[in-house]
Amino acid sequence: ADSVPEEKFSLKEVLITFQSCLTDNQEILTDSYVNGWRGLVRFMNSLGSIFSFISKDAVNKIQIMVTHQNGENGDKYETLQSMVKYELDNNLVDLQRRAEHPESGCRTLLRLHRALRWLELFLEKLRTSTEDSKTSVMCTDAYNDSLAQYHAWIIRKAATMAFCALPGRAAFFQTMNVGSTEQVVAMLGEAMPFISKVYEITEELYKQHNLLELP
Ligand code: 1PX
C-alpha cells in the first residue's frame, strides 16, 4: 500500500481493511487490524499537524504491536485470540497496575480497540449526517460517548480543541477521496458492518478474559 501514489489514497481502501481482519472462524488477524490503523493514521495526518499528538500515540501503539509480531514469538500474535491466550498463559500481562509488562499486546490493543468504538460512532454520525451537520460536533459527541471516559482531563481538553479544527463536512468528505456525498454514504454503509463486527468480537474476547480494564 506504501507504493500507492498520494493522490490515489482513498479512505475506502482503509475501511475495507477491517473486512480482511475477519477469518472464517471469526478470529481477528492482528496484521490486518494494525494495517487498518496505519491507514487511519495516514488519513488523520492529511488533516493537519494539529492532530499530530494523537497520531504520535497511535503510531507508538502500532509500533508496539509490530514489535510483538516481529519478535521471537511472533507467530503467537497472528490473531487477537492467539495473542490473548499466549500472553495470559505466560503471565505477560500486567493485570493490576503497569509493572513488568507495560507494553503487553493485550493492553496496547485495548487502547486501539477503545478508539475503534469512537471510529464506529463517528462514522455512523457521518453516514447519517445532513449538509448542515458539523464534523467537529459529530466527532466530539462520538468521543464523549466512547474514548473520553478513559482519558485524563488534559487529554480530553486537547482532543476537544483539536476537533474544532476539523474541516467542514463537505471538505471532510472530499479529503476521504471516495467521490460524491452519495458515494461516501454508500461506502460507509458498506464498511461499517465489518468495523462493528471486529469491535464486537474483540469486546467479547476481552470480556471473556476479564481484560477490559487493563492498566
Ligand atoms: C472518516 C474518519 C476517519 C478518521 C480517522 C482518524 C483516526 C484516528 C486515530 C486515533 C487513534 C487514537 C488512539 C488513542 C489511543 C489512546 O486512547 N491512548 C491514550 C491512552 O494510552 P496509554 O498508553 O496512556 O494508556 C493516550 O493517553 C492518548 C493520547 C493522545 C490523545 C488521544 C485522543 C484520541 C482522539 C481520537 C479521535 C481522533 C480524531 C481524529 C479526527 C479525524
- Model ipTM value: 0.97
Structure confidence at residue 155 (pLDDT): 97
Quote the cell numbers at residue 188: 460507509
Domains of the chain from N-terminus onward: 9-208 (1.10.3520.10)
d(CA 3, CA 9): 10
Q: Could you count the other beta carbons within 10 Å of the beta carbon of residue 209?
A: 15
Nearest to 215 by CA among 101, 116, 53, 44: 101
pLDDT tens per residue, range 96-105 = 999 999 999 9
Q: How confident is the model at residue 8 (pLDDT cuts 50, 70, 90)?
A: low
Q: Which residue owns the Cα nearest ligand 1 atom 7? A: 40
Quote the cell numbers at residue 108: 496496547
Q: How confident is the model at residue 6 (pLDDT cuts 50, 70, 90)?
A: low
**215 CA: nearest ligand 1 atom:** 25
Does residue 201 have a pLDDT over 90? yes
**75 Cα to the center of ligand 1, angstroms:** 27
Q: For a pocket test of ligand 1, which of 44, 64, 146 has the largest count of ligand atoms closer than 8 A to its C-beta?
A: 44
Where are the extended beta strands (E) located within the chain?
A: none
Q: How confident is the model at residue 9 (pLDDT cuts 50, 70, 90)?
A: confident
Q: Which residue owns the Cα nearest ligand 1 atom 34? A: 54
**111 Cα to the center of ligand 1, angstroms:** 8
Q: Could you count the other beta carbons within 10 Å of the beta carbon of residue 190?
A: 13
Q: What amino acid occupies position 213?
A: E
Q: Which pTM was predicted?
A: 0.95
Q: What is the percent of the chain with per-residue pLDDT over 90, rounded to a whole number?
A: 94
Long-range CB pairs of 194-197, under 8 A, 24+ apart, other chains included = 194/15, 194/16, 194/18, 194/19, 194/21, 194/22, 195/15, 195/18, 195/116, 195/119, 195/120, 195/123, 196/120, 197/22
Angle between helices 30-45 and 52-70 (to 10 degrees): 160
